[in-house]
Amino acid sequence: MATAAELFARAAAYDGWFVQSTPFFGAERRGALVVAYARASDSRIWLREPVYNPDILIVFDQRALSEESVLSGLKEGCKMLVNSNRSPEDIKANIGKNVQVFTVDASEISAKYLGRPVVNTTLLGSLASVSKLISLQSIRRSILYRFPKTDIEATMKAVEEAANRIAGTYLS
Amino acid sequence: MAAISELTDEEFLLKGNSACAGCGATMAIRWVLKILGRDTVLVMPAGCVSVFQGMFPASAFDVPVVDSSFGAQSSFAAGLAAAYKIKGRRLKVVTLAGDGGTADIGFHAVSAAAERGDDVLYICYDNEAYMNTGVQRSSLTPYGAKTGTDPKGKLEWKKNLPLIMAAHNITYVATASVGYPFDLLRKVKKAASLSGFRYIHILTPCPPGWGSSENLAAELGRLAVRCGIFPLFEVENGRLTLHKVGNRVAVRRYLELQKRFEGLTDEQIQYIQKRVDDDLRYLELLEKVTSEVNRAGQVDRT
Amino acid sequence: MAEQIEVLTGNAAAAYGVKLSRAQVIAAYPITPQTTLVERIAEFIAKGELKAEYIRVESEHSALAACIGASLGGARAFTATSSQGLLLMQEMLFWAGYGRTPLVMAVVTRAIAPPWNMWSEHTDALAQRDTGWIQIFCHNNQEVLDSIIQAYKISEDKRVMLPVMVCFDGFEISHTSENVTVPEQSDVDSFLPPYDNDLLDVEEPKLLWNGVYPEDAFKFKTIFSEAAERSLSVIEEVHRDFDSRFGRRYEAVEIYGRYEPKVFLVAMGSVASSAKAAVDVLNREGLPVGLIRIRLFRPFPASELQKAVEGSEALIILDRSLSFTRGILSTEVAAALYNAKSRPKIFEYIVGLGGAVVTHTSIVETVKHLLPRIAEEPKGIVWLKSGG
């Protein structure tokens, strides 16, 4: 998941953005809640701090939605992209803020093309549609750079489907 | 020992610590502490254990613990032992350190403690690399294993630290493995009953660092012994006793369960097999030769 | 390898700097948050992209000792470490400094134990200011890569022959990815010629570093001190030369901000980066506040600092270090300005110790709180609470 932030940042850089990405550094043990941050800007980024009020919050595992800390920084009108088989309306109802919720079942999509849930790369496709910051070509380049031995065609099929199969709510 | 019923129900390594799933070190330490009991003071340097013991204000241990800098643990322990001696306090001083902290950065101090005969029980939990900081090689990383600082696989053979400690002519040296818990418990009990510098070297497989499934720590601990790559032995009063367990198994069976050995050529595996056979033979000869030795009473630093 | 835009962590950028500098001997011991730096170098070597000997030492004291040996043997050497490791090698730091051994080390700054703390502050590096090393503080990943290359050029210059420490914050820089331009190897080769060290010469044998009586000792220190004095102008030369070749200009003291600031923030490293973001906000609101970023800490650029503060009213020092009760940067700034013609007021803040986040909003709020009171006397050192 820290990898996803890195993949996004590299893709955004290929698309001409100034970028920054950081994993959050807590005790890194398997199974713990992990957070990563990424920024894209049209000028050099000087900030050296976590993203407190994201424009886009991406949730890789919907179980994280039950954590208070995950939802606390959401600002009005921001976008949420959740890897989930639930409906966006359902998720939005439990959040209690006026945010735009997008869902995509990235686990299922990636399992379909890659044989197992590989949410990291697949969700980038949805992120491309939701953020309009990165292109599919850049995603492809970014994935190949980081995972040169991967089956890129199958991965990109998952990415493309994730780009198209998003359900979303509108701002109320 | 040992029947399971003899072990205390008390837990000194508490649940909820942040060790990785399947961590071999937690298995070993939990049992060790059940034998040692409440009147134990632990000294530990930086390493996996000093991290999974928890961040302030939590502690995963129900015994007093002193965290030391990396490499200084033996000297911290020396000071503690001297203090308890002069104050007449009967507390067990136990140093708990990883392979990197023992064989590399702390080696000079461990050797010095052994040479002085500090009244300390030193337990090295060997996961065969600097695992806490990612996976970087230590001198106890085995030949052929890939790590972050040796991406093509280590070219040097694993340093034989237990034999080096035995050469210090200390009270007691033993190797143990999480694959054989009763053997480990017996050795800890014996060591705890003695005084002077005692050294126990436990193989504690690390599934994430070795590239194996989380449920394989005990199995790897067994295979390592059965294929001879990690022999079980004790050295007491100058005498080495080797413990053979069941039939020998080919090293390949052990290596192929771990991604860190992926890509080893047949030639390399043959080299490992031969070297393991040779080292085992060496131990057998040592056992024979030292059977006529009796240094009882010569380890008498008080 | 052609110049390319890359997205690299600070540690990876440093590793690229080492590779492009064609370092020949690497001796390092793992410590968070340096590990990914030396692992990347190990990977370069394993892939044949860097021809170097990698000595897998058993402690940091040995790491630097090995580098000193390598440098004497005529090889370009490199090591990297943080906090505890830096402290453990302190004896060797003085050895390389007083011994005038050309060397480059990356220091990924980290708080010092106890208690154990992996996150950044500057005390570890600043506590080595007496060791005779040149110290450079980087505030983004591009600067890290560029500074490693420049460091070798400075260190090996015959007028200098002093080791150089390239320091950058653990995690905020070392593990954060940013756009980095990676220069072409051939360009770096023409900027940085090969290293040679002929001190140990069998034709004309010399004895290095044996005992001295007091008079000779005084002479040696004088010679050392002259080299240290000369290093400042050599560093400026290297900065200019680097700019003409690679189009990136670095300065010992960097001034940032619009308008003609009467009030300056003073900071280093990652704090300076956050301060730039704060200055952008303040300037957008029309407030004439700027940033003085100290890039070069040793030798401390006193005259550059004096020039920068001429005519200014006040300095707000954001100090990510602590020496007993006072920040180390603050002490150095005060000392450098003591005899200056123009001496602004100094407001001292201790920030970000133990890795506590220094948000740009907390800096903005601090400045806005201070501005109306800028004419008052400073009321003592303020510990800035972690932003959020």
Q: In chain B, which residues have their Cβ closer than 8 Å to the Cβ of C35? A: 133-134, 136, 148
Identify the burial level of C329 via C-beta atoms within 10 angstroms of its C-beta, where 0-12 means exposed, 13-18 middle and 19 or more buried. Answer: buried
Indicate whether A66 belongs to any domain: yes
Compare CB distances from C177 to A9, A25, A44 and report the shortest one's residue. Answer: A9
Residue to substitute from A20, A46, A146, interface C, most C β-carbons within 10 A: A46
Q: What are phi and psi of C35, to 5 degrees?
A: -50, -45
**Probe site for chain A from C118, C176, C280, C360 (most A CB atoms < 10 A):** C176
Question: CA B44 from chain center: how many Å?
Answer: 13
Quick one: how many helices (H) and strands (E) in chain B?
Answer: 11, 8
Tell if the CB–CB gap between A27 and B51 is shorter than 8 Å.
Answer: yes
Any chain A CB within 8 A of the CB of B18?
yes
In contact, B137 and B145? CB cutoff 8 Å: yes
Contact C66, C54 (CB under 8 A): no
Domain count, chain A: 1
Model pLDDT for residues C1-29, shown as the tens digit of each residue: 457 788 999 999 999 999 999 999 999 99
For residue C138, list chain A residues with Cβ-Cβ distance below 8 A.
Answer: none
Q: Which residues of chain B does C88 touch, with a Cβ-Cβ cutoff of 8 Å? A: 69, 71
C304 C-beta neighbours (distance < 10 Å), count? 20
Q: Which two tokens stand for residue C235?
A: 């560093």
Q: Which chain C residue lies closest to A36 (C-alpha atoms)? A: C176
Closest-approach residue (CA) in chain A for C175: A22
Transcribe A118-141 into DSSP letters: -HHHHHHHHHHHHH----HHHHHH
Q: How far apart are CA C244 and CA C242, in angstroms?
A: 6
Give the angle B276-B250-B211 at the CA atoms, nearest 5°: 90
Site from A29, A33, A34 to mutate, B interface, most B CB atoms within 10 angstroms: A29
**Best residue in A25, A28, A30, A149 to probe B by mutation, most B CBs within 10 Å?**
A30
Polymer length in residues for chain B: 302
pLDDT surpassing 90 at residue B5:
no
CB < 8 Å from A in window 96-125 of B: none
Same domain membership, residue C207 and residue C283: no
Find chains touching chain B: ≥3 CB pairs under 8 Å. A, C
Structural domain including A107 reads 50-168
CB-based contact C318:C351 (threshold 8 Å): yes
8 Å CB contact of B56 and C115 = yes
Q: Do C179 and A46 touch (CB under 8 A)?
A: no
Burial B251-287 (b: 16+ CB within 10 A, else e): bbebbebbebbeebeeeebeebbebbeebbeebeebe
Whether C187 is in a domain gets the answer: no
DSSP state of B228: T
Q: In this complex, do B55 and A27 lie within 8 Å of one another by their Cβ atoms?
A: yes
Amino acid symbol at C217? A
Does A30 reach chain C within 8 Å, measured CB to CB?
Answer: no
Q: How many residues does chain C have?
A: 388
Q: pTM of this prediction?
A: 0.91
The structure tokens 């490693």 sit at: C148
Determine the pLDDT at residue A170.
Answer: 60
Residues of B in contact with C115 (CB under 8 A): 56, 67
Range of the domain at C228: 4-182+197-246
Q: Is A25 on the interface with B (CB under 8 A)?
A: no
Decide: C269 and C139 in contact? Cβ < 8 Å.
Answer: yes
List all residues 6 or more positions away from B281 whose beta carbon is below 8 Å from its beta carbon.
none
| CB atoms C176 and A45 under 8 Å | no
Taking CA atoms, C212 is separated from A8, C65, C130, C209, C219, in Å, by 60, 21, 21, 9, 10
Using the predicted structure, report yes or no on whether residue B300 has a pLDDT greater than 60: no
* Helix, strand and coil percent figures for chain B, each rounded to 5: 40, 15, 45
User: B258 near B216, Cβ under 8 Å?
Assistant: no
Using the Cβ of A29 and the Cβ atoms of chain B, whether some distance falls under 8 Å is answered with yes
Contact A89, A114 (CB under 8 A): no
The 10 Å CB-count burial string (b at 16+, else e) for C255-276 is: ebbeeebebbbbbbbbbbbbbb
Q: Where are the beta strands (DSSP E) in chain C?
A: 4-9, 25-27, 53-55, 77-81, 104-109, 134-137, 164-169, 177-182, 253-256, 263-267, 289-294, 296-298, 314-319, 345-350, 382-383
**Closest by CA position to B141, among listed B221, B206, B200:** B206
Beta bridge mates, B92: B40
Q: Is the dihedral of CA C373, C378, C379, C384 positive or negative?
A: positive
HSE at residue A65, side-chain half, CA atoms within 13 A, is: 22
Cβ-proximal residues to C272 (8 Å cutoff; 6+ apart), any chain:
C137, C139, C291, C293, C294
> Do C207 and C271 lie in a common domain?
no
Q: Nearest-CA neighbor of C356 among A47, A50, A37, B50?
A: A50
Domain boundaries, chain B: 12-290
Taking the Cβ of residue B238 and every Cβ of chain A, the question of whether any pair is shorter than 8 Å is answered with: no
Say which CATH number the domain at C277 has.
Answer: 3.40.50.920
**The two structure tokens encoding residue B160:** 């034989």
Query: In chain A, what residues touch B52 (CB-CB under 8 Å)?
Result: 29
Question: Are C159 and C48 part of one and the same domain?
Answer: yes
Query: Is A29 close to B18, i.e. CB distance below 8 A?
Result: yes
Report the range of poorest mean pLDDT among B53-57, B60-64, B66-70: B53-57
C265 shares a domain with C238: no
- Chain C CB contacts of A25 under 8 Å are 118-119, 171, 175
Residue C218 shares a structural domain with residue C347: no
- The reply to whether residue C30 touches residue B130, judged by beta carbons under 8 angstroms, is yes
Strand order in the sheet with C134-137: C53-55, C25-27, C77-81, C104-109, C164-169, C134-137, C296-298
**Residues C8 and C126 grouped into a single domain:** yes
Q: What is the pLDDT of residues C110-135, one digit of tens each?
A: 999 999 999 999 999 999 999 999 99
pLDDT of A31 > 70? The answer is no
In A35-74, the residues whose Cβ lies within 8 Å of chain C are 44-50, 52
Count of structural domains, chain C: 2
Nearest CA in chain B to A29: B20
The verdict on residue A33 lying in a domain is: no
Q: Does any CB of chain C come closer than 8 Å to the CB of residue B199?
A: no
Sheet bearing C263-267, strands edge to edge: C253-256, C289-294, C263-267, C314-319, C345-350, C382-383
B52 inside 8 A of chain A by CB: yes
Question: Is the Cβ pair B149, C54 closer than 8 Å?
Answer: yes
ipTM: 0.91
- What residues of A are in contact with residue C121 (Cβ under 8 Å)? none
Q: Is the pLDDT of residue B169 over 90?
A: yes
Identify the band that residue B4 occupies on the pLDDT scale cut at 50, 70 and 90: confident
Length of chain A in residues, anyone?
Answer: 172
Which CATH number do you get for residue C153? 3.40.50.970
Touching B: C residues 7-36, CB under 8 Å: 28-32, 35-36
C-beta separation of B16 from A32 below 8 A = no
Q: Note whether B18 contacts A30, CB cutoff 8 Å.
A: no
- Total beta-carbon pairs less than 8 A apart between chain B and chain C: 54
B208 Cβ under 8 Å from any chain A Cβ: yes
Residue A75 CB neighbours (<10 A): 13
The Cα angle at residue C7 between residues C103 and C386, in degrees rounded to 5 = 80
**Min CA distance, A108 vs chain C (Å)?**
30
Please report residues of B whose CB lies closer than 8 A to that of C58: 103-105, 107, 139
Q: What is the CATH number of the domain that holds A97?
A: 3.40.920.10
Chain B residues touching A27 at Cβ < 8 A: 18, 51, 55
Residues of A in Cβ contact (< 8 Å) with B55: 27
Alpha carbon of B48 to those of B23, C118, C375: distances in Å? 10, 14, 53
**A27, pLDDT greater than 80:** no
Question: Residue A1 has what pLDDT?
Answer: 66
Q: How large is the average pLDDT for residues B84-105?
A: 94
Task: Please answer yes or no on whether A47 and C358 come within 8 Å at the CB atom.
Answer: no
Cβ-defined contact of B134 to C113 (cutoff 8 Å): no
Q: What is the pLDDT of residue A171?
A: 55
Name every chain C residue with its beta carbon within 8 A of the beta carbon of B105: 29, 58-59
CA C146 to chain centre: 12
* Residue A59 one-letter amino acid: V
Indicate the SS3 state at residue B90: coil
Distance from the Cα of A82 to chain C's closest Cα (Å) equals 24
Concatenate the DSSP letters of all residues of B137-185 into one string.
Answer: --TTSPTT--BTTBTT---SPPP-HHHHHHTT--SEEEEEETT-HHHHH
DSSP type of residue B88: T
Q: How far is C32 from chain B (nearest CA, A)?
A: 6
Task: Compute the Cα dihedral for C124, C130, C134, C138 and give only its sign.
Answer: positive
- Contact present, B157 and B197 (Cβ < 8 Å): no
Calculate ∠ Cα B257-B263-B268, nearest 5°.
95
Any B CB within 8 A of C48 CB: no
Torsion angle (degrees, nearest 10) of CA C3, C9, C10, C16: -40
DSSP letters spanning A52-110: SS-SEEEESSGGGGG-HHHHTT--TT-EEEEE-SS-HHHHHHTT-S--EEEEE-HHHHH
The verdict on C172 and C229 lying in the same domain is yes
pLDDT in tens, A128-138: 999 999 999 99
DSSP string, A11-43: HHHHTT-EEEEEE--S---TTS---EEEEEESS
Answer yes or no: is A13 within a domain.
Answer: no
Pairing of strands A36-41, A18-23: antiparallel
Q: In chain C, which residues have pLDDT < 50?
A: 1, 388
Judged by CB atoms closer than 8 Å, whether chains meet at C177 and A19 is answered as yes
Cβ-Cβ contacts under 8 Å between A and C: the total is: 62
B67 Cβ under 8 Å from any chain C Cβ: yes
Contacts of B71 in chain C (CB under 8 A): 59, 88
Secondary structure of residue C33 in the 3-state scheme: coil
Chain B interface includes A30 (CB < 8 A)? yes
Same domain, C56 and C35: yes
CATH number listed for the domain at residues B12-290: 3.40.50.970
Cβ within 8 Å, pair A50-C178: no
- Residue corresponding to tokens 């070798």: C152
Q: State the pLDDT at residue A29.
A: 45
Give CA–CA dist B44/B56, Å, rounded: 16
